[in-house]
Amino acid sequence: MKDTPRFSYDLATLKSVAADVLRLAREQGASSAEVDVNESFGQSVTVRRGEVETIEYNRDKGVGVTVYLGSRRGHASSADLSPKALADTVRAAISIATHTAEDDCAGLADAELLARNPANLDLYHPWDLSVEQAIEIARECEAAALGVDPRIGNTEGGSVGTHASQFVYGNSLGFLEGFPATRHSVSCSVVAGKGDDMQRDDWYTFARHADDLEAAAEVGRKAGRRSVARLGGRKIPTTKCPVLFEAPIAASLLGHFAGAVSGGSLYRKSSFLLDALGKPVFSPVVSIRDVASIPRGIASGAFDDEGVATQDRDVVTNGVLNGYFLGSYSARKLGMKSTGNAGGTHNLILQSTGESFEELLRKLGTGLLVTEMLGQGLNMVTGDYSRGAAGFWVEGGEIAYPVHEITVAGNMRTMFQGIVAAGTDVLRRGSRQCGSILLDELTVAGD
């Protein structure tokens, strides 16, 4: 029986709630205020060995209000949208603001930077999916994984999830906008075994629109093939060699870059890329764009968390850093303007240098292909990098055998400068999009 959930409120109602909160803040003495009203719901199903293991539903709503008494800031939130709760929440924020220290950088975004008539970026595509249909898709995904090879003897299951949310952001400068968005996923994780050797791997697909998801059976087959390929892993001697980060892992390098040139790290002086603006921080083959305007994009948005209009930017061109990721507060701390990145980066895209994954392997020659990273290992202040890893040893441009129990180490500044190529095997299932990345040399610690 199909019972597809829907929003409890329409967007106009959320706008009315936001307007009421701003009015209450003004009446209670706030010199300025901003508010976020949101609602979300979702459904996820996990099947293990063909049997339903979990069915989860979630439904949430909330309001968060930030008030300013001059340069004093107070914030409070509530999951209750009733008139009394809204008044109490505003009162709490006002009370907090009276006890905070003055901060000249606190305040709303600059009025001239706010988005006016923001574009519709096609982010809302609800999946009319009953729980029975979700179960069948999860079963199909898991069955495809188990059918890859008889050595796949265990499974962590196939999962299907669908989620919808909507929000309204408003402030006392007259900004009041919002939109709904969806995200859907199919994933699978299985365990292959041969004697005492047990290896797990997974695969997933993620998109705004169900039609943009990979087929469930293909997700399962990829998870199965990846787990089997890791059987028979060996240790290798400690060495220095070229390293190819597979696309799912390579995206983490973009994440480290984004963290290093984000406002909070910069004004706190806790970044290995301090004072790097206008300087070459990558090798000349690297160009990176921050793109907010992609229709159905995972991290697309016409405005950021403060209502500032977003912009598509060339953040890195031929290795040179052109700009930071700033919200209003961090921009003021640095004596700059917001870049429309309150809340983080948008679709951060590394431009490919044109090689396929197979061509990158040939370019690597002899060295390491990394397909899994373990633990945290980046010192954001110094850039020193050391993480556990697993993957494959490559000889003569061909994968020779799987390796495990190794550590890759270097310094992020040197690693960025040592990027040789970026592949065409781009994954678009997240906000950081790139193909596999080849580095000229890292230390690989093994036996």
- The 10s digit of each residue's pLDDT in 46-59 is 999 999 999 999 99
Answer whether 250's CB lies under 8 Å from 360's CB: no
Give yes or no: residues 246 and 144 share one domain.
no
For residue 200, the enclosing domain spans 11-229
Taking residues 267-296, what's their average pLDDT? 97
Question: Does a structural domain hold residue 134?
Answer: yes
- Based on the fold, state whether residues 74 and 194 are members of the same structural domain: yes
Distance CA 390, CA 233 (A): 9
Residue ending a domain, among 229, 263, 288, is 229
Query: Is residue 415 domain-shared with residue 266, that is, in the same domain?
Result: yes
For residue 158, is it within any domain? Answer: yes
Considering the chain, what percentage of its residues have pLDDT values greater than 70? 99
The answer to whether residue 298 is domain-embedded is yes
Q: Please count the structural domains in the chain.
A: 2
Strand order in the sheet with 347-350: 320-321, 313-317, 288-291, 347-350, 432-433
My answer on whether 78 and 194 are in the same domain is yes
Please check whether residues 124 and 167 belong to one and the same domain: yes
Q: Residue range 390-407: average pLDDT?
A: 95
5: in domain: no
Average pLDDT, the chain: 96
Neighbours of 308 (CB within 10 A): 27
Residue 196 pLDDT grade (very low, low, confident, very high; cuts 50, 70, 90): confident
Domain boundary residue among 187, 207, 229?
229
Asked if residue 110 and residue 75 are part of one domain, the reply reads: yes
Task: Indicate if 23 and 84 belong to the same structural domain.
Answer: yes
- Given a cut of 50, is residue 2 above it in pLDDT? no
Q: What is the mean pLDDT of residues 121-143?
A: 97
Confidence of residue 4 (pLDDT cuts 50, 70, 90): low
Quick one: 246 and 225 in the same domain? no
Say yes or no: 30 and 68 in one domain: yes
Instruction: State both tokens at 152.
Output: 């796949």
Could you tell me how many residues make up the chain?
447
Q: Is residue 265 part of a domain?
A: yes
Phi and psi at residue 214, to the nearest 5° = -65, 155
Residue 60's Cβ-count burial label (10 Å; 0-12, 13-18, 19+) is exposed
Pick the last residue of a domain from 229, 258, 276. Answer: 229
Query: Do the domain assignments include residue 234?
Result: no
| pLDDT tens profile 224-264 | 999 999 999 999 999 999 999 999 999 999 999 999 999 99
**Mean local confidence (pLDDT), 407-414:** 96
Residue 138 has pLDDT above 50, yes or no: yes
User: Is 1's pLDDT higher than 60?
Assistant: no
Give yes or no: residues 192 and 253 share one domain. no
Q: What is the pLDDT of residues 61-113, one digit of tens each?
A: 999 999 999 999 999 999 999 999 999 999 999 999 999 999 999 999 999 99
Question: Is the residue at 2 inside a domain?
Answer: no
Return all residues near 377 (Cβ < 8 A) that are at least 6 apart: 385, 386, 387, 388, 409
pLDDT at 5: 65
Same-domain check for residues 38 and 158:
yes
Q: What is the CATH number of the domain that holds 146?
A: 3.30.2290.10
- Asked if residue 389 is part of any domain, the answer here is yes
Domain co-membership, 161 together with 304 = no
